[in-house]
Homo-oligomer: A and B are copies of this chain.
């Protein structure tokens, strides 16, 4: 299997659907819809949507069936970035080399564009026309999984603890809390929702959960390592920016070598969990390798 070709193809599926699902730029209020589309099409790698599609395919589901939920996931991820970048939060002027949403549209529109994208995710997830092959009970489980992982006990909770920890000594449990919540929760939700929509049974969902938890954390550790040793192109943000901000990272707590070892260990846990899916899980398998190997 050619991972690059796979990523390119599935990313294109998601991009095409996002263009169709989001209200057009000239739909009233135009400023709001322009701002929403600006950040959704700002060069994101569609990591979470592609993971959701790959998990759906791992349990034998068709990619097309999971595309609306994958797009909803990307909308939630994008809203979180818009709000994170606000002056009242991380106060970032650039993301992926482009001015952040509030720099272009103003703080007020950026707040509302984030709100609208989060809401749009649930409009999409509950749209009967766009999800004809998913039975309502499963669709509700998807909405429940995604919203829980995005809420105060998931992503938003992680963001709060991360903010409150800046510039302070952070112990290992707090660091794990931040990562499993701020970034890990959505990645896990992507994997679980893919499995649900693909029709996976309980055993399959359990295996996918193991994969999602391990891969999500591995992704974060690899990101932390890259922040120190990577080149700017691979990372898409400034090298050393975590340190400059007084953020505690895995390498800071464990040392680079131990952090790398932990990432490799998590990668193996993730890959081993995929065994029952055989060939159908090849994309998920290669993604786990790709995530970790770029940092080692």
Say whether A111 faces chain B, with CB atoms less than 8 Å apart. Answer: yes
Interface string of A145-164 (1 = CB under 8 A from B): 00110111100110111011
Give A122 to B121 CA distance when docked, in angstroms: 11
Interface string of A61-82 (1 = CB under 8 A from B): 0000000000000000001100
Assess the B29–A157 pair: CB atoms within 8 A: yes
Assess the A152–B120 pair: CB atoms within 8 A: yes
Q: Contacts of A160 on B, CB cut-off 8 Å?
A: 29, 31-32, 109, 112
Assess the B147–A123 pair: CB atoms within 8 A: yes
Assess the B163–A108 pair: CB atoms within 8 A: yes
Name the residue of chain B whose CB is nearest to the CB of A76: B119
Assess the A147–B122 pair: CB atoms within 8 A: yes
The 8 A-B residue pairs with the shortest CB-CB distance in the complex, in nearest-first order: A88-B107, A136-B136, A126-B144, A119-B151, A116-B152, A126-B143, A122-B147, A29-B160
Name the residue of chain B whose CB is nearest to the CB of A162: B29
Chain A: residues with CB nearer than 8 A to chain B? 23, 27-29, 31-33, 36, 79-80, 83, 86-89, 106-109, 111-112, 114-116, 118-120, 122-123, 125-128, 135-137, 139-141, 143-144, 147-148, 150-153, 156-157, 159-161, 163-164, 177
A73: shortest Cβ distance to chain B, in Å?
A: 13
Give A47 to B114 CA distance when docked, in angstroms: 26
Can you list 15 A-B pairs, Cβ within 8 angstroms, ordered by A?
Answer: A79-B115, A83-B115, A88-B108, A89-B108, A109-B160, A118-B118, A119-B152, A120-B152, A122-B143, A122-B147, A123-B147, A123-B151, A136-B140, A139-B140, A140-B140
Assess the B157–A32 pair: CB atoms within 8 A: yes
Q: Contacts of A29 on B, CB cut-off 8 Å?
A: 152, 157, 160-161, 164
**Main secondary structure on A side of the interface with B:** helix
The answer to whether residues A23 and B112 also contact, given A143-B126, A160-B31 and a CB cut-off of 8 A, is no
Give A139 to B138 CA distance when docked, in angstroms: 12
Name the residue of chain B whose CB is nearest to the CB of A29: B160
Assess the A112–B161 pair: CB atoms within 8 A: no
Give A87 to B153 CA distance when docked, in angstroms: 26
Q: Contacts of A119 on B, CB cut-off 8 Å?
A: 118, 147, 150-152, 156
Assess the A147–B126 pair: CB atoms within 8 A: yes
Name the residue of chain B whose CB is nearest to the CB of A153: B23
